[in-house]
Amino acid sequence: MGLREFVPSEWCLRCQRCCRFSNQVSPWIPVFSAKEAEELIARGYPLAVFNKAFNEDPSVDVRVKVKQYRDYYICPFFDPEKNCCEVYPLRPFDCRLYPFLLVRRDGVLYLGVDKECPFVEHLFETEQEWHVQRFADYLVDYLASPEGSDEVNTHPSMIAPYPGNIMLLREIRL
């Protein structure tokens, strides 16, 4: 089945939000499963882009090491000159899910959305937030499927504590 995309590519290619981080340590830095990391390494990407040796424990997912670019940090797979991801077809589930996020608040798992995503902002500003709600319904169904729950189970680190700056949409039961 695969996960459908929510944000149209023309929005992504002109966005200045994703793949950029104000700090070297951030819950927004992408999480890769060992399988996703191994696939990139098999295609010639260096192991050094990951923050730890995932092959020591294949059940552990890892984040990438961000690199300094101007006055902020970027994902090592992000090309700031072209404003695109070098591994887009192989990007991790965490990136494929964005601008939706999985967060834990008071012990409960939620699907949330980053309202600072320019496309999401546009939908709310133009009273088309129903698109967000409809896609949230789709994601709840996807996450309940064997494929979707497997994605979540192989990426436990992508479930972040609730940061307070996203909109909670649905409670998730896996």
Indicate if 136 and 62 belong to the same structural domain.
no
Residue 60 included in any domain: yes
Indicate if 83 and 16 belong to the same structural domain.
yes
The Cα 136–Cα 14 span in angstroms is 24
Q: Is the pLDDT of residue 122 over 60?
A: yes
Total domains in the fold of the chain: 2
Summarised one tens digit per residue, pLDDT across range 10-20 is 888 888 888 99
User: For 1-5, 66-70, 75-79, 129-133, which range has the lowest pLDDT when averaged over its residues?
Assistant: 1-5
- The model's confidence at residue 163, banded by pLDDT at 50, 70 and 90, is confident
Indicate if 48 and 71 belong to the same structural domain.
yes
Q: What is the pLDDT of residue 14?
A: 83
- Give CA separation, 128 vs 1, 9, 124, 167, in Å: 26, 18, 6, 15
Residue 2 included in any domain: no
| Count of residues making up the chain | 174
Q: Which of 38, 68, 91 is the last residue of a domain?
A: 91
Indicate if 14 and 76 belong to the same structural domain.
yes
Summarised one tens digit per residue, pLDDT across range 19-31 is 998 888 887 888 8
Q: What is the pLDDT of residue 87?
A: 93
Residue 1 included in any domain: no
Indicate if 84 and 141 belong to the same structural domain.
no
Domain enclosing residue 58, as ranges:
9-91
Q: What is the pTM of this model?
A: 0.87
Residue 3 included in any domain: no
- Give CA separation, 91 vs 54, 95, 105, 114, 145, in Å: 17, 6, 26, 19, 21
The Cα 24–Cα 21 span in angstroms is 7
Q: Which of 73, 91, 109 is the last residue of a domain?
A: 91
Indicate if 74 and 129 belong to the same structural domain.
no
- The model's confidence at residue 59, banded by pLDDT at 50, 70 and 90, is low
Q: What is the pLDDT of residue 60?
A: 64
Closest CA to 91 of 103, 80, 77, 112: 77
User: For 11-25, 85-99, 137-151, which range has the lowest pLDDT when averaged over its residues?
Assistant: 11-25
Q: What is the pLDDT of residue 155?
A: 82
- Give CA separation, 32 vs 3, 139, 163, in Å: 16, 19, 20
Helix crossing, 130-144 with 118-125: angle to 10°?
Answer: 130
- DSSP-derived 3-state class of residue 139: helix
Q: Which of 91, 109, 129 is the last residue of a domain?
A: 91
Residue 38 included in any domain: yes
Residue 117 included in any domain: yes
